[in-house]
């Protein structure tokens, strides 16, 4: 026995393979002891007996594979073999067809491998994956149900709380207006704080309702960003006038988006820039738009490289923030500055992020303390 033959023999034994040689013309078969064991026999038997050991429902698999081998020269199939004790074993057959001098099929030389354990492992793995998938689907359904109930609760609670808040503000304002002179200095301070607290709570409820109402199911339309900015400017005209703010922008594009959500996005970004202006420095806000090629857009995480995108940059000259907090500012109720100096609910930028994600876009910020902030928004333009 040559070295190559010995190496092949050792490999076959290590893999627990059974070897066989089938003479097609005489229908006789030579097998190794391991092949016999795989088929459930303690000694060699006829070719027909080996074939008969294959489960009836798997016989068509064997017949088709054999017919294919006569055309391709290669034999591969996997079937269940029934042992005398009734046990079923998965067996994989691999072989090669050899021809005689007249190019007629003469022999098949092949190996058999018991794959019962591998198949059992694969079945168990598939079962576990299926179970986990069902559990995840069930959990997802439960979360969707909880989320729907929570949204409904937030909406109802917010509306219910608005009315008593409105009355608190009305009555405190009436007292401040008609009985202010009769109050002590401490009472005046207390009433002012009550009114301010009620105002903050009312704003929080309003912003929470806005955040809760943002979803992907609203209708898309052609949205003129120039008009959106003009509407946001109009809504913010009082604070713009108070701070002598300047909002600069050139010709902005028309994009496919949800109109109401685009207004929420622009309004909150402008309001944020006005809110965090530097003391005694008139706010200057610049809005610029850049077109992005499909190749550049594809570089950004989760963006579809086959679509066209625009990048909107809202830049201000305000107080800025440390870049290490760039992700944190988009979290709900996250505040980096003292509420007493910079009022707000901590929902505005979280709402902006939700709107951008609803439109399959991307939002991030860059800044440095005292250097202003730039908010980059990438949105599909079509």
**Chunked mean pLDDT (size 10), the chain, 382 residues:** 54 70 92 92 93 94 92 92 92 92 90 89 86 85 71 59 72 79 80 72 63 64 91 86 90 87 88 87 90 55 68 90 82 51 62 86 87 89 76
Q: What is the pLDDT of residue 339?
A: 45
Q: What is the pLDDT of residue 278?
A: 86
Q: What is the pLDDT of residue 375?
A: 92
Distance CA 271, CA 123 (A): 58
Distance CA 247, CA 274 (A): 10
The closest of 203, 224, 215, 185 to 339, measured between CA atoms, is 203
Instruction: Work out the burial of residue 207: count CB atoms within 10 Å of its CB; fewer than 13 is exposed, 13-18 middle, 19 or more buried.
Output: buried
Q: What is the pLDDT of residue 51?
A: 94
The Cα-based distances of 369 to 162, 272, 277, 278 in angstroms read 37, 15, 12, 11
Neighbours of 142 (CB within 10 A): 10
The closest of 15, 25, 207, 249 to 111, measured between CA atoms, is 15
What the chain holds in terms of domains, given with CATH numbers, is 3-114 (3.30.450.20), 131-213 (1.10.287), 216-382 (3.30.565.10)
Q: Give the helix, strand, coil percentages of the chain, each rounded to 5.
A: 50, 20, 25
CB proximity list for 122: less than 8 A, separation 6 or greater? none
Structure tokens at 169: 């503000």
Structure tokens at 344: 């707000």
- Sign of torsion, CA 274 276 280 282? negative
The residues with which 74 forms a beta bridge, in sequence order, are 96
Distance CA 33, CA 11 (A): 16
Q: What is the pTM of this model?
A: 0.49
Would you give the distance in Å from CA 125 to the centre of its chain? 24
Name the H helices within the chain.
3-14, 33-38, 47-52, 59-72, 116-178, 185-213, 225-235, 237-242, 259-275, 294-298, 348-358
User: Cβ distance 287 to 374 under 8 Å?
Assistant: no
Structure tokens at 331: 């979290």
């Amino acid at each position: 026995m040559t070295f190559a033959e010995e190496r092949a023999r050792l490999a076959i034994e290590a893999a627990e393979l059974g070897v066989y040689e089938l003479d097609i013309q005489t229908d006789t078969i030579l097998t190794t002891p391991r092949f016999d064991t795989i088929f459930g026999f303690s000694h060699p038997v006829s070719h027909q007996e080996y074939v008969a050991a294959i489960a009836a429902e798997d016989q068509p698999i064997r017949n088709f594979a054999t017919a294919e081998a006569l055309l391709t020269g290669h034999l591969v199939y996997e079937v269940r073999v029934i042992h005398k004790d009734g046990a079923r074993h998965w067996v994989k057959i691999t072989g090669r067809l050899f021809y005689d001098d007249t190019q007629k099929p003469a022999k098949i030389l092949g190996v058999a491998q018991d794959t019962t354990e591998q198949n059992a492992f694969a079945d168990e793995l598939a079962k576990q994956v299926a179970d986990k998938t069902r559990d995840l689907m069930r959990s997802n359904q439960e979360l969707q149900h909880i989320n729907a109930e929570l949204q409904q609760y937030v909406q109802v609670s917010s509306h219910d709380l608005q009315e008593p808040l409105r009355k608190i503000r009305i009555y405190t304002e009436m007292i401040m207006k008609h009985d202010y002179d009769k109050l002590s200095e401490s009472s005046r301070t207390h009433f002012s704080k009550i009114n301010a607290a009620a105002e903050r709570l009312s704003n929080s409820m309003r912003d929470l309702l806005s955040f809760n109402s943002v979803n992907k199911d609203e209708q898309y339309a052609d949205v003129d960003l120039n008009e959106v900015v003009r509407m946001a400017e109009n809504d913010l005209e009082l604070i713009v006038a108070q701070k002598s703010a300047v909002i600069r922008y050139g010709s902005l594009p028309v994009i496919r988006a949800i109109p109401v959500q685009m207004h929420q996005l622009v309004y909150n970004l402008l309001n944020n820039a006005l809110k965090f202006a530097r003391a005694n420095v008139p706010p200057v806000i610049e809005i610029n738009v850049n077109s992005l090629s499909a190749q550049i857009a594809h570089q950004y995480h989760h963006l579809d490289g086959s679509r066209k995108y625009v990048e909107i940059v809202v830049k201000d000259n305000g107080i800025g923030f440390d870049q290490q907090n760039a992700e944190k500012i988009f979290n709900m109720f996250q505040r980096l500055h003292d509420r007493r100096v910079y009022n707000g609910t901590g929902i505005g930028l979280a709402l902006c992020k939700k709107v951008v994600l609803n439109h399959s876009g991307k939002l991030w910020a860059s800044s440095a303390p005292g250097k202003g902030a730039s908010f980059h928004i990438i949105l599909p333009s079509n």
